[in-house]
Amino acid sequence: MLLVKFKDHLVETLSLGASTWTYLQTCGLETALQRLKSAGYSRFDVLTIPPHLWPYDIDKTQRRKLRNLLAGEGLSFDSLNLPSTDQNLCSVTLQMREYSVQQFLDIIDLCEEVCVPMIVVVPGRRANFVPPPLEAAHGWLKAGLEFLVPHAERAGVRLILENHHMSPMPTVRQMVTFLEEFGSDQLGIAYDVANGEFVGEDQSQAIRTAGRWLRQVHLSDASRNKWDHAPIGRSAVDFAAVAQALREIGFSGTSIVELISETPDADMADARQELYRHGWR
């Protein structure tokens, strides 16, 4: 790992990548990748939803072409990311849970064919009003993962659970407890600092708590009063403290800039420059 100067002393660099999320409704995947490459990014978390990388719209020939495109451009996918808006691993209905599991099975196959090491998994959503019991939600999630993990293991793909305020485990402490009880190294954590801020979590402490389970970090800004994925430096997240905590645990994964922006080209480029000051490269 390289060393860079930060506040008059040398610190280890942290790997930086980008999500295609901010371009989801404005352009297709290849254009999004080129725009992010122009902003200085080469490693990506890619949305598996139209018009980006929907597994049912890309056949084996197209998958091979995508793999060759990445190699030719010097780009790589750190993870694929299936949004939780159209699937729910802890739904109260069996049919939705089965549909969600099948989507993840198909995305695992896509990962194997395009050489992607991880899938980001929001661990389900509980209803805001009259939610199912927490124990039931955990049980449904566990059953789904028990079906997915063997398939992921055979494909060489890790499933990384993302903290989300609507999930049955919105904090890292809850996620670690679940993962330790589940007992599979095929699982891990994708820690979203903005989601952590929104639920009142100390992000630095959450990173330390995640420890060996932490595989990816999502970077954007938010406050405890507003759920957001704002441009870096626009709200309350302390990115210097986040960087320090990552170094303390020896984190070697990728931190993904994941913004929602009406001016994505400028804000993604600015994010890279702002995070550069804290040692991300």
Q: Residue range 21-44: average pLDDT?
A: 97
All residues at 6 or more sequence positions from 21 whose CB lies less than 8 Å from its CB, including other chains: 45, 47, 81, 229, 258, 259, 260
Q: Is the pLDDT of residue 240 over 70?
A: yes
Q: What is the pLDDT of residue 128?
A: 75
* pLDDT band at residue 143 under the 50/70/90 scheme: very high
What percent of the chain has a predicted confidence (pLDDT) above 90?
93
Q: Which among 262, 259, 261 is positioned nearest to 16, based on CA atoms?
A: 259
Q: Domain tally for the chain? A: 1
Q: Which amino acid is at 98?
A: E
149 located within any domain: yes
Q: What is the pLDDT of residue 38?
A: 98
Q: What is the mean pLDDT of the chain?
A: 96
Q: What is the pLDDT of residue 12?
A: 87
218 located within any domain: yes
Q: Is the pLDDT of residue 9 over 80?
A: no
Structural domain of residue 261, as residue ranges? 3-276
Q: Residue range 253-270: average pLDDT?
A: 98
Q: When comparing pLDDT for 222 and 85, which is higher?
A: 222
* pLDDT band at residue 139 under the 50/70/90 scheme: very high
155 located within any domain: yes
Q: What is the pLDDT of residue 5?
A: 57
Phi first, then psi, for residue 78 (nearest 5°) are -75, -35
Q: Residue range 92-113: average pLDDT?
A: 98
Per-residue model confidence as pLDDT tens digits over 177-225: 999 999 999 999 999 999 999 999 999 999 999 999 999 999 999 999 9
49 located within any domain: yes
211 located within any domain: yes
CA distances from 35 to 15, 30, 32, 69, 105 (A): 19, 9, 5, 15, 30
81 located within any domain: yes
pTM above 0.75, yes or no: yes
270 located within any domain: yes
281 located within any domain: no
8: domain CATH number? 3.20.20.150
